Structure 1
Amino acid sequence: MNDIQVLHDSQSIKFRKPFGAVEVGQKVKMSISVNREIIVAIELIRFDGTKINIGMHKEYLNNGEFKYSVEVDTSDALGILEYYFILIDGYDRVYYGNNDDHLGGIGQIYTYNPVPYQITVYEKSFIPSWYKEGVIYQILIDRFYNGNGNKTIDNPKENSFIYGRWDDSPMYIRDSFGKIVRWDFYGGNLKGIIKKLDYIKELGVNIIKLSPIFKSPSCHKYDTADYETVDEMFGTNDEFRELCKVANSKGIKIILDIVLSYTSSDSKYFNKLGNYDETGAYNSPNSKFYNWYKFITYPYRYESWWGMDERPNIDSMQQEYINYIISENNSIISKWTSMGIGGWNLNVTDELPDEFIELIRKKIREINEEIVLLGDIWEDASNKISYSKRRKYLQGNEVQAATNYPLRESLINFIKGYIKSDKLKQKIMSLYENYPRESFYGNVNIIGTNDTERILTVLDENISLLKLLIAIQFTLPGVPLIYYGDEAGLKGGREPDNRKSYPWGKENKVLVDFYHKIINIRNNEDGLKKGKLSIFETDPDVFAFERSYENERIIILVNVSSEAKLVKEVNLSGNYINLLSINEKYKFIGNSSVITIFPYDLKILRRI
């Protein structure tokens, strides 16, 4: 079948209707066009791996081609439903599947082992508007601000390293094996966040994502020692209640980061160092915490996160652990949620079983439907496979949205010239196609976090390029996140250099002003918070897309090249204003609109 011509585009309603992920029970019409009459079937692969082969109905088209169609019922297809087409002409057989990049859209012919397309089938899920339409500010508490009047540090830990100056560069003190032997502290605390709430509010932010607050030996607190208590260097449980109360009064919600797949070995649960009165799992097999952990040879060998023996892994499905964290009336989830937080972020989500995440989501729903549950997932969360198991993250009963690391990677690659706008479009459209709409619009759109290099360093300190990146981040669907200090121009490479203290009084005013402007634009435009996404085919160095909502239309144009570009592919008929410069107005007549984008420039045009 060398002369056969076949086309299926999973992102065109001509070939697959409706677009993208579907609610379970919804029917999907699938079509494929072929340049001659043959036999065509579709092979469906359910989430559990079972396959169904269905013949397709033939229709002759006026252009001489044949269209083959079938309607697929998703009533029993919750999860990922994969598919490809089987094309048979006499004794010859070929397949038509997804492209080699697994990005959806136009596919290709295979002689064997076709890459399947994906339909995400999910149960309806609700995400509150305060979150979806918000802007997040991520804070590492120790590095943000010391709210004590005399800048003293509360309850410094034994054998810790306290920086002599707030603006000292961070470092780790390690032994000959690379293990951290003295944790470093600047002295940021909850009082400091309370004192800076007006700064955060004035920036235009309505959500604060806090690093873990729980007692822990480390500066970052991702290794919990006691889930019931705020770390004494950060403050008290009552001060956390006060933070939630004051933040809520200013229209700011708090989201807590939590690690539930391992604890610190220096915790009241494990107590390897004997620093707690509790009988920990390491101290005795009769400890009430013993069954939480996964001992290999008691007590010295046990499973731990990435082989770090100071972070022993938890058996999350152990019933006593489930009761403690989730089920009991005063469980950890209940206790802190009742203090007035707006949501939870599950760190290292891949380490938690689906069943455990479902229990957390169920508990949160029982408490308050307005509470959100997010997941820190580094890949496409709709089809993630971890530990050889396909995950159920976005099927409707686990996390409502995920940290959008795939978008970050694609945006950086485009801004730095590693990929062109056509590939960026493919990458974004793949996520748009694979994610349930609520999850896509709830994704945490990041350009930097505590786990990545500082974005200004990634871009070789080029503020012009950073502005382009920020503009795309804040105008695409999703919830944009600012990693504390990025708006002030903090630089830094790998950990711990990416966790410097906030440079109070030494901010980059150009960047701070730009963040104010772009956040204000997003907050005031429903089209940018709720609007449908359409991406245009343009010059390889220009990324152009539209956000449309009801009668609103906003066009975003970004030029990452050193040359001015003429954009002709976007129909701009009508009157427009550039939201970045309200004195810049345009009037386009007919369908022959042309607009010039200067080197390293951007425009956010709203039809008026």
Structure 2
Amino acid sequence: MNDIQVLHDSQSIRFRRPFGAVEAGQKVKISININKDIIVAIELIKFDGTKMNMGMNKEYLNNGEFKYSVEIDTSDALGILEYYFILIDGYDRVYYGNNDNHLGGVGQIYTYNPVPYQITVYEKSFVPRWYKEGVIYHILIDRFYNGNENKIIDNIKGNSFIYGRWDDSPMYIRDSFGKIARWDFYGGNLKGIIKKLDYIKELGANIIKLSPIFKSPSCHKYDTADYEIVDEMFGTNGEFRELCKVANSKGIKIILDIVLSYTSSDSKYFNKLGNYDDVGAYNSPNSRFYDWYKFITYPYRYESWWGMDDRPNVNSMQKEYVDYIISGDNSIINKWTDMGVSGWFLNVTDELPDEFIELIRKKIGEINKDTVLLGDIWEDASNKISYSRRRKYLQGNEVQAATNYPLRESLINFIKGYIKSDKLRQKIMSLYENYPRESFYGNINILGTNDTERILTVLDENISLLKLLIAIQFTLPGVPLIYYGDEAGIKGGREPDNRRSYPWGKENKMLADFYHKIIKIRNNEDGLKKGKLSIFETDPNVFAFERKYENESVIVLVNVSSKAKLIKEINLSGDYVNLLDISEKYKFAGSDSVITIFPYDLKILRRI
């Protein structure tokens, strides 16, 4: 079959209708064009690995090619439905599948082991409007602001390290084995966040994602010691309730970060160090918490997160643990949702079984259907495999959206010149194709988190490039997240350097002003919050796309090169204004449209 020509494009409705992920029960028409009259079949692979072969109907096209089509019923195909084509001409057989980058779109011919295409089949899922049209401000509490009038730090823990000045550089004090010997604290607290709510509101954010608030020995609190109380250095349960109440009065929702796959060894549940009155699992096999944990040789050997013995793993599906966290009348989910929490962020989501996440989703839906459940997932969440199991994250009953680390990686690579705009388009369209629409528009679009280097440092402190990156972040589908201090120009390498204190009074005003402007543009434009995405093919150093909602159209053009670019490939008609400079107006006339983008510059054009 050396002379055979084949084309299937999973991202074109000419070849797959409808586009992208589909609700279970929806029919999908799949087609492939071939320049020869041959036998064509499609091989389907269901989520459980079951395979099914179907013949395809032939249609002669006016250009001399043949179109082969089949309609797929997805009623019993919940999960990922994969497919590739089998092409038979006499004794010759080849396959047509996804491209070897697994990115969807135009595929390629294989002689064996074709890479399959993916259709995500999901149950209908609702993402609250307040969330998917919002802007998130992510706070690491200890590093944000001390709200005490005298700036004295409350309830300092024993054997801790307190920084002498608010702007000292963070560091870890380790012992000879590399373990943290003394945790470090700046003194940020809930009172500080309450006092800075007007700052967050004025910035334009209407969602706060809080790092864990629960009692814990560490500064970051990702090792819980007691899920029932706020850590005494952060404040009290009453102050958290006040934070939620005051934030809500200002139109700001609170999302809590929580780790449920392990606890601290220095917790009331495990109590390895004997710091609690409770009989912990480490203290006695008769402890009511004993069955929560996974002991190998009691009590000294037990399963722990990445081998860190101060973070013993929890058996998440153990009945008493499920009741305590989720199902009981006084469960942790109930308790904090009643206090005013509007959403939950499941840290290290891969460590939790699907059944456990489903129970949380069901519970929060029963309490308040406007509560959102988010996942800390570093790869494409639609087809993620963790611990040799394909996950069900986006099938409709677990998380509603996830951290968009794949987008972050692609945007940084484009901005720094490692990839061109055609590759960036492929990467984004792959996510658009694979994610249910609600999840894609609810994805947390991040540039930095407490687990990554500061974005300004990643870009070698080049603020011009950072502005381009921010503009794309806030204009693509998804919910943009600002990691506290990124808007102020905080620098920082790997942990703990990426967790510096907020530089109150020493902010980079130029960068802060740009954040204000871009957030205001997003908040004012329905097209940027919920518009359909179309990405144009243009100059390799220019990323150009349209967001279209009803009669609104917003065109974003970003030039990452050192040369001005004349853009002629985009067919624009009508009058447009540059939202970054409303004195700049354009009148376009269809295919004759021409626009110049200066070096390291961008335009956000809205049709008027």
TM-score normalised to structure 2 length: 1.00
CA distance in 2, matches of 1:474, 1:454: 18
What are the equivalent positions in structure 2 for 1:291-370 lying under 5 Å apart? Answer: 291-370=291-370
CA distance in 1, matches of 2:570, 2:402: 31
Look up the SS of the partner of 1:471 in the other structure: helix
CA distance in 1, matches of 2:476, 2:339: 33
Q: What is the match of residue 246 of structure 2?
A: 246
- One-letter code aligned to 1:182: R
Structure 1 residue 212, shift from structure 2 partner: 0.1
Q: What is the match of residue 82 of structure 1?
A: 82
CA distance in 2, matches of 1:532, 1:31: 24
Q: What is the match of residue 578 of structure 2?
A: 578
- One-letter code aligned to 2:526: D
Structure 1 residue 171, shift from structure 2 partner: 0.1
Q: What is the match of residue 72 of structure 1?
A: 72
Structure 1 residue 588, shift from structure 2 partner: 1.2
Deviation string for 1:136-174 (max 9, x for gaps)?
Answer: 000000000000000000000000000000000000000
CA distance in 2, matches of 1:239, 1:161: 25
Q: What is the match of residue 219 of structure 1?
A: 219
Aligned residues: 608
Q: What is the match of residue 469 of structure 2?
A: 469
Q: What is the match of residue 484 of structure 2?
A: 484
CA distance in 2, matches of 1:275, 1:440: 45
- One-letter code aligned to 1:271: N
Q: What is the match of residue 150 of structure 1?
A: 150
Q: What is the match of residue 110 of structure 1?
A: 110
Please provide the CA RMSD for this pair: 0.4
Look up the SS of the partner of 1:589 in the other structure: strand
Structure 1 residue 341, shift from structure 2 partner: 1.2
Structure 1 residue 590, shift from structure 2 partner: 3.1
Structure 1 residue 589, shift from structure 2 partner: 1.9
CA distance in 1, matches of 2:131, 2:394: 17
- One-letter code aligned to 2:117: Y
Deviation string for 1:175-222 (max 9, x for gaps)?
Answer: 111100100000000000000000000000000000000000000000
Deviation string for 1:63-121 (max 9, x for gaps)?
Answer: 00000000000000000000000000011100000000000000000000000000000
What are the equivalent positions in structure 2 for 1:147-546 lying under 5 Å apart? Answer: 147-546=147-546
CA distance in 1, matches of 2:78, 2:429: 22
CA distance in 2, matches of 1:452, 1:408: 11
Runs of 5+ consecutive residues of structure 1 not aligned to the other structure: none
Q: What is the match of residue 40 of structure 2?
A: 40
Q: What is the match of residue 12 of structure 1?
A: 12
CA distance in 1, matches of 2:427, 2:329: 44
Deviation string for 1:300-337 (max 9, x for gaps)?
Answer: 00000000000000000100000000000110000000
Look up the SS of the partner of 1:53 in the other structure: strand
Q: What is the match of residue 556 of structure 1?
A: 556
CA distance in 2, matches of 1:255, 1:5: 52
CA distance in 1, matches of 2:248, 2:124: 28
Structure 1 residue 272, shift from structure 2 partner: 0.1
Q: What is the match of residue 49 of structure 2?
A: 49
Deviation string for 1:491-525 (max 9, x for gaps)?
Answer: 00000000000000000000100000000000000
CA distance in 2, matches of 1:403, 1:510: 28
Q: What is the match of residue 2 of structure 2?
A: 2
Deviation string for 1:436-484 (max 9, x for gaps)?
Answer: 0000000000000000000000000000000000000000000000000
CA distance in 2, matches of 1:603, 1:551: 20
Structure 1 residue 46, shift from structure 2 partner: 0.2
CA distance in 1, matches of 2:414, 2:13: 28
Look up the SS of the partner of 1:315 in the other structure: coil
Runs of 4+ off more than 4 Å: none
Structure 1 residue 591, shift from structure 2 partner: 2.0
